[in-house]
């Protein structure tokens, strides 16, 4: 019987491979960073061939480390940075342009034009997304508009489009399979998340030929076989990174929510079969699930989460490393009456104030370095709470527990503060590699490596829970202070000129 599942984790800055066993334990890991290219201010590109070669390299390395042979691998699951756009020649497999990365802002003007054309509501209703340059649609249109002959070749069926999952599958299967999954398709801004098909009207608007788009399949199911590792291994799990993380956290039920505290923060709330439309700027997206029926999720992001701790460390020089922030938080009984709002790049949901800027309010002569650090750490929790509250309200679901992952969830002070502030139980799993684990589960469930969701759930173990321990009055006082501080950050934008 095969012993492992391979999870390929194609991230924004590195390719990783993890081999999991039946208990969901990590048996081997390999990781390699790849180059980030910034050809112009605001532009971000990757070399698709480097994404492919590093992913191959780390997979071989992870297998070699524990002497795993192809017959030891039951299946491969893939999870990836979402939205990043690649177009390649169908015959040769050579990309016609570098991968345009989700962070790349080059098509912001195209989004303004789309709004001026009156398309915002249509996009919202069909794709669940608020039109933005992050998503694949305008990146793909940009390639067709700017690369000589690209549109003609695409119309002749000579070019293929894919997000990173699709690119890897195409290469792993020796150009046999051109497919993506529902979760990745739902981030392209071309996919109707209700009818589960590419939307012909949107394709027409961007002049994108449908023939270049991948076939869209359930996240857990067949994506062909690869013989790249010396024997045949099926590829049976695919999901975008945030959806994979929710799955890896066993967030299978409506009301289940996960919060990732990485450089940025990501919250996903499972809303079951209901696609909830947000009025507060949250995105409606497809969650990873097993079987043909799709599940939906509400998604919100915190632009600056762990990045605020990096700012304390790198720009202000107040910390030598990020974990040290916790020691400072514990040196003082509270934040000394100050609030740090790290709106370095504006504020996202539920405020949507792109011109808001970072603000510190309440400074007095007694404020120390420890207060400043504590208040910055607390800001991660406040921003998360803003999203949690908006999500719960819109979905009509009571949120009682929050499953956490990402680098900063290691901070016990932050986790306790979040539990207190949000009045929820925080559950920190033993395995915080939830993104890769989610991809592994999707793949393993499809081939019977795990027999069903209950068997997967048995693997989920909590490393530690944090319970709310403060009064309602205290919580409300904290929140009122934060709301006032946010108003200051926004007023800064509004008062300009």
For residue 223 the two structure tokens come to 């994506």
Nearer CB in complex with ligand ADP: 60/410: 410
The Cα-based distances of 360 to 205, 237, 342, 486 in angstroms read 44, 45, 8, 10
Which residue number, 75 or 245, has a Cβ lying nearer to ligand ADP?
Answer: 245
Buried b (16+ CB within 10 A) or exposed e, 12-21: beebbbbbbe
Q: State which residue, 56 or 380, has the beta carbon closest to ligand ADP.
A: 380
β-pair partners for 225:
234
CB of 16 to ligand ADP, least distance (A): 10
CB nearer to ligand ADP: give 165 or 394: 165
Whole-number minimum distance, CB 326 to ligand ADP, in Å?
6
Element (H, E) at 257: strand 257-261
The residue count of the chain comes to 497
Q: Which is nearer to ligand ADP, 295 or 325 (CB)?
A: 325
Phi and psi, residue 397, nearest 5°: -115, 140
* Three-state SS letters, 49-91: HHHHHHHHHHHHHHHHHCCCCHHHEEEEEEEECCCCEEEEECC
Residues forming beta bridges with residue 235, ordered by sequence position = 76
What whole-number distance in Å separates Cα of residue 219 and Cα of residue 289? 6
Least Å distance, CB 304 to ligand ADP, is 9
**Distance in Å, CB of 292 to ligand ADP, minimum:** 32
Cβ-contact 186, 289 below 8 angstroms: no
Closest approach, Cβ 363 to ligand ADP, in A, equals: 22
Nearer to ligand ADP, 131 or 306 (CB): 306
Q: Is 402 helix (H, G, I), strand (E, B) or coil?
A: strand
Q: How far is the CB of 325 from ligand ADP (least distance, A)?
A: 5
Q: What are phi and psi of 154, to 5 degrees?
A: -65, -40
Least Å distance, CB 410 to ligand ADP, is: 4
The 3-state secondary structure of 185-236 reads: HCCCCCEECCCCEECHHHHHHHCCCHHHCCEEECCECCCCEECCCCCCEEEE
* Minimum gap (Å) between residue 408 Cβ and ligand ADP: 3
Residues forming the site for ligand ADP (CB under 6 A): 262-263, 306-307, 309-310, 322-323, 325-326, 406-408, 410-411
Residue whose CB is less far from ligand ADP, 280 or 324: 324
Toward ligand ADP, which CB reaches closer, 52 or 413? 413
Residues pairing with 298 in the sheet: 269, 284
Q: How far is the CB of 45 from ligand ADP (least distance, A)?
A: 19
Neighbours of 124 (CB within 10 A): 16
User: Are the C-beta atoms of residues 204 and 187 closer than 8 Å to each other?
Assistant: no
| Least Å from the CB of residue 356 to ligand ADP | 20
Query: Is the Cβ of residue 313 or residue 393 nearer to ligand ADP in the bound state?
Result: 313
Using the minimum distance from each CB to ligand ADP, give the nearer residue, 8 or 202.
8
Q: Is the peptide bond before 350 cis (omega within 30 degrees of 0)?
A: yes
**Please, which residue, 96 or 101, has the CB nearer to ligand ADP?**
101
Please give the full DSSP string across 282-338, using - where no structure is assigned: PEEEEEP-SSSS-EEEEEEEESSSHHHHHIIIIIS---SSGGGHHHHHHHSSS-TT-
CA–CA distance, 132 with 340 (Å, rounded to integer): 27
Tell the smallest beta-carbon distance from residue 424 to ligand ADP (Å): 19
The encoded tokens of residue 412 equal 């016990």
């Amino acid at each position: 019987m095969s012993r492992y599942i391979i999870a390929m984790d194609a991230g924004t800055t590195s390719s990783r491979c993890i081999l999991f066993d039946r208990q969901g334990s990590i048996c081997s890991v390999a990781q390699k960073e790849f180059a980030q290219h910034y050809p112009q201010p605001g532009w971000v590109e990757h070399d698709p061939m480097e994404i492919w070669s590093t992913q191959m390299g780390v997979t071989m390395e992870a297998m070699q480390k524990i002497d795993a042979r192809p017959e030891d691998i039951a299946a491969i699951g893939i999870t990836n940075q979402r939205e990043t756009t690649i177009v390649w020649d169908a015959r040769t497999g050579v990309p016609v342009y570098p991968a345009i990365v989700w962070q790349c802002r080059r098509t912001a003007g195209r989004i303004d034009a789309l709004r001026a054309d009156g398309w915002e509501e249509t996009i919202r209703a069909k794709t669940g997304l608020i039109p933005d340059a992050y998503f694949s649609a305008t990146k793909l249109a940009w390639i067709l508009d700017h690369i000589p002959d690209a549109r003609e070749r695409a119309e002749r069926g000579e070019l293929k489009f894919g997000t990173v999952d699709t690119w890897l599958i195409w290469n792993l299967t020796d150009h046999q399979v051109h497919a993506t999954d529902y979760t990745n398709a739902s981030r392209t801004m071309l996919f109707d998340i209700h009818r589960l098909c590419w939307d012909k009207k949107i394709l027409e608007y961007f002049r994108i030929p449908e023939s270049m788009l991948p076939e869209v399949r359930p996240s857990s199911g067949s994506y062909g076989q690869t013989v790249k590792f010396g024997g045949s291994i099926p590829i049976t799990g695919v999901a975008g990174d945030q959806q994979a993380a929710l799955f890896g956290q066993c967030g299978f039920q409506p009301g289940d929510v996960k919060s990732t505290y990485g450089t940025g923060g990501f919250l996903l709330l499972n809303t079951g079969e209901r696609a909830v439309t947000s009025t507060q700027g949250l995105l409606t997206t497809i969650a990873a699930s097993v079987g043909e029926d799709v599940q939906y999720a509400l998604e919100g992001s915190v632009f600056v989460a762990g990045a605020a701790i990096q700012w304390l460390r790198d720009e202000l020089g107040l910390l030598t490393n990020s974990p040290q922030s916790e020691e400072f938080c514990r040196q003082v009984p509270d934040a000394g009456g100050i609030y740090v709002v790290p709106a370095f790049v504006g504020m996202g949901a539920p405020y949507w104030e792109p011109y808001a800027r970072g603000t510190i309010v309440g400074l007095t002569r007694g404020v120390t370095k420890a207060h400043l650090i504590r208040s910055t750490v607390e800001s991660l929790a406040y921003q998360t709470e803003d999203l949690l509250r908006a999500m719960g309200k819109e979905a009509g679901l009571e949120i009682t527990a929050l499953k956490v992952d990402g680098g900063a969830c290691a901070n016990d002070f932050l986790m306790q503060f979040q539990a207190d502030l949000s009045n929820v139980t925080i559950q920190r799993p033993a395995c915080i590699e939830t993104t890769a684990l989610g991809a592994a589960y999707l793949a393993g469930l499809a081939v019977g490596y795990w027999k069903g969701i209950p068997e997967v759930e048995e693997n989920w173990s909590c490393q530690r829970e944090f319970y709310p321990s403060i009064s309602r009055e205290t919580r409300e006082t904290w929140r009122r202070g934060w709301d006032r501080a946010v108003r200051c950050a926004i007023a800064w934008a509004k008062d300009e000129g």
